[in-house]
Amino acid sequence: MEKKHAQLFTEMRKELSDAEKKVEISDPGNEMLFYMEETAKKHGWEGQKSPGVEFDGSENIIEILESAIKAEKEAVFLYTSFRDFVPKGTAKDKMSEIIREETLHAGLLMKQLRHLNK
């Protein structure tokens, strides 16, 4: 599922017109840019214990699911933050669809976790 999202982002970038690539945002101190770059660095750690930390094999299924849920929540947060900077139209619609899918991923994992905690 995550590979599909990466492919969608690549396609979205290719489809942007030159005008859409030039988003005008007032950010004189580059705080928004810094925030976005730092947030993006901590994203994409699905399949890991946490950003940059691999599972060592000692984790139980509960710990793995909890980690996966955190990763999905981070993805929702990241994409929601970035959506405001995506041009209106198809690209924004695709971004919203990815956010919905990431939310569904988190929900599926939460159901599994609840089932195991019964």
Which residue, among 10, 12, 63, 78, has the nearest Cα to 55 in the 3D structure? 63
pTM of full prediction above 0.75: no
pLDDT tens series, the chain, 118 aa: 667 766 776 777 677 667 666 666 667 787 777 777 777 777 777 788 888 889 999 999 999 999 999 988 988 988 888 887 777 777 788 889 889 999 999 999 999 999 998 7
Please tell me what DSSP assigns to residue 19.
H
Residue 108 has a pLDDT of 96
Tell which residue, 99, 113, 39, 100, has the closest CA to residue 69: 113
Among candidates 51, 68, 78, 79, which has minimal Cα distance to 111? 68
Q: What is the DSSP letter of 53?
A: B
